[in-house]
Amino acid sequence: MGAVKRRREKVRLTTISYKGGHCQICGYDRCIEALEFHHLDPTQKEFGISQKGYTRSWEKVKEEADKCVLLCANCHREVHAGILQLPQATVVEKLGELREP
């Protein structure tokens, strides 16, 4: 494994751990490849963590991760489809943090 690939994997694992290591809706934690970052306020999104985030500094990734909740792939799709809703406490808490100066 090359240095860049190792760094990306390390940043991914660190970010998933930082966000709790499990889906915030159902608690899924069996396969980290099935965990994704959902931006609570799409207008605050600077970059997709999974797409380009792992090549950025930890501080930039952490800043972006603070705008997100960790969801499993199934719950993430259902949130976007309008089938599931994020727990209200999670949304209120996170959006409040985003709007603080």
What lies within 8 Å, CB to CB, of 67 at 6+ separation is: 39, 40, 41, 44, 45, 94, 98
59-89 pLDDT tens trace: 889 999 999 999 999 999 999 999 998 876 5
pLDDT of residue 93: 55
| 3-state SS, residue 35 | strand
**6-20, 44-58, 87-101: the lowest-pLDDT one:** 87-101
85-99 pLDDT tens trace: 887 655 545 545 545
- CA pair distance 49, 63, nearest whole angstrom: 10
Determine the average pLDDT of the residues in 34-56: 82
pTM > 0.85: no
